[in-house]
């Protein structure tokens, strides 16, 4: 009664055989994929297994490694770039090359994007999952109309690759209309979008709230060149986050007027981390005795790196003042604001023999800063390319 009938047994056996065959097929196919990644793209065996495992086996029917490799060569990628691209977008291994991938890449090449630009753009967006005619081309057409030139569109996509995979022709218009109603020209809006693309991708209600904050809370005039910079600084800040930052300034005795002065001078002061705000205010106010009103009106002081720029230069500044080596009146603000080349030429090199220890220490710190900047840029680039 409870046994499996003859027909049922046949079906069960057939299913088992199919399952075994499928497993064998997938195992063999996986080996081929790994072999291709190791020998043609420069992956280690471990990297190849890990990367290929991110793609479902149902895509194996589109596996065309030679066509993919040929396309990579034609668009000017070297082996390292191929590996980077496949690492960030393993679905490339199983794309329909002629029908899907080539036409999409062609529209990017029309913007004179190639090599590392394509690696970044494809690897940091949902480019592969977006339709050519439903998303990608309408987005590019809209950007050309907004920015005016292919070069401007290309520069924007290099800065914000994710734009290529967003339906911005539906997202941007309400926010552009809002800025136009505030009196900003098409050129103003295009420039703002190129500099801060993510701001205009926000919900219009969010942007309206930020405009209110800029005008009503911080009293930034619409005609000020800092108004749009103020919007850019405020857009990413949740109201509770903004209030927490303002509370830090208040805890150091800053009035609302002081805070507004600072924001009107340099809105990006609001984007510093809580720790950065505290330690900078502590140094200038508790150790150097600066007043809130002075710091507010000289807001760039608050944005420079304390460890890498302000403190090393302050030591030189103190030595020059104490030894009366500078005849004219000189402020720390001037010293800190000078470019590295100007600072060394005016305030360091002429006095190197009078302060050999300080000079050597400063040069050592400067070199460490250069090295750390290079390393930081390399790490940022690697993270940008490899994050998936």
The answer to whether the CB of 223 falls within 8 A of the CB of 214 is: no
For residues 377 and 264, the model is more confident at: 264
Cα distance between residue 172 and residue 39, in whole Å? 45
For residue 293, count CB atoms less than 10 angstroms from its CB and return exposed for 0-12, middle for 13-18, buried for 19 or more: middle
Given the structure tokens 């460490």, which residue do they identify? Answer: 368
Q: Got the DSSP string for 320-371?
A: HHHTT---S---HHHHHHS-HHHHIIIIIGGGTTTSHHHHHHHHHHHHHHHH
The answer to whether the CB of 302 falls within 8 A of the CB of 262 is: yes
Q: Given this model, what pLDDT does residue 386 score?
A: 35
Cα distance between residue 297 and residue 261, in whole Å? 6
> What Cα–Cα distance (Å) separates residue 205 from each residue in 29, 212, 243, 247?
51, 11, 19, 25
Query: What digits encode the pLDDT tens for the residues 131-187?
Result: 999 999 999 999 999 999 999 999 999 999 989 988 888 889 999 999 999 999 999
The answer to whether the CB of 362 falls within 8 A of the CB of 315 is: yes
The pTM (predicted TM-score) of the whole model is 0.75
Confidence of residue 295 (pLDDT cuts 50, 70, 90): very high
Determine which of 37-41, 243-247, 280-284 has the lowest per-residue pLDDT on average. Answer: 37-41
Measured from the Cβ of residue 378, the count of other Cβ atoms closer than 10 Å reads 10
Average pLDDT, the chain: 84
The answer to whether the CB of 63 falls within 8 A of the CB of 30 is: no
Confidence of residue 27 (pLDDT cuts 50, 70, 90): low
Confidence of residue 257 (pLDDT cuts 50, 70, 90): very high
The answer to whether the CB of 130 falls within 8 A of the CB of 165 is: yes
Query: What digits encode the pLDDT tens for the residues 310-357?
Result: 999 999 999 888 888 887 789 999 999 999 999 999 998 999 888 888
Percent of the chain, pLDDT > 70? 85
């Amino acid at each position: 009664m409870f046994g499996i009938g003859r027909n049922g047994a046949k079906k069960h056996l057939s299913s088992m055989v199919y399952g075994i065959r499928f497993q064998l097929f997938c195992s063999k196919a996986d080996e081929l994929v790994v072999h291709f990644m190791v020998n043609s793209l420069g992956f280690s065996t471990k990297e190849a297994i890990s990367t290929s495992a991110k793609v479902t086996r149902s895509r194996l029917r589109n596996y065309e490694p030679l066509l993919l490799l040929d396309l990579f060569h034609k668009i000017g990628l070297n082996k390292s770039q191929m590996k980077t691209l496949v690492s960030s977008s393993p679905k490339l291994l199983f794309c329909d090359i002629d029908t899907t991938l080539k036409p999409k890449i062609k529209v990017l090449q029309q913007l004179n994007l190639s090599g590392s630009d394509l690696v970044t753009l494809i690897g940091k967006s949902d480019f592969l999952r977006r339709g050519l005619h439903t998303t990608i081309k309408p987005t590019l057409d809209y950007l050309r109309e907004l920015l005016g030139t292919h070069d401007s569109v290309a520069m924007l996509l290099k800065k914000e690759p994710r734009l290529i995979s967003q339906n911005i022709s539906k997202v941007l218009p309400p926010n552009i209309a809002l800025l136009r109603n505030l009196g900003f020209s098409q050129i103003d809006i295009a420039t703002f979008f190129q500099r801060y693309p993510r701001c205009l991708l926000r919900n219009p209600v969010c942007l309206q709230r930020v405009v209110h904050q800029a005008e009503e809370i911080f009293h930034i005039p619409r005609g000020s060149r800092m108004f749009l910079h103020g919007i850019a600084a405020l857009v990413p800040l949740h109201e509770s986050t903004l209030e927490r930052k303002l509370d830090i300034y208040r805890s150091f005795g800053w009035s609302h007027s002081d805070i507004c002065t600072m924001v009107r001078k340099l809105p990006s002061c609001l984007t510093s981390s809580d720790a950065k705000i505290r330690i900078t205010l502590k140094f200038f106010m508790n150790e150097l005795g600066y007043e809130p009103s002075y710091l507010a009106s000289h807001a760039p002081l608050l944005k420079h790196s304390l460890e890498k720029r302000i403190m090393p230069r302050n030591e030189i500044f103190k030595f020059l003042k104490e030894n009366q080596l500078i005849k004219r009146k000189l402020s720390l603000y001037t010293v800190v604001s000078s470019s590295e080349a100007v600072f060394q030429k005016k305030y360091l090199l002429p006095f190197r023999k009078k302060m050999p220890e300080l000079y050597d220490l400063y040069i050592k710190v400067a070199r460490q800063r250069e090295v750390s900047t290079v390393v930081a840029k390399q790490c940022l680039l690697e993270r940008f390319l490899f994050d998936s």
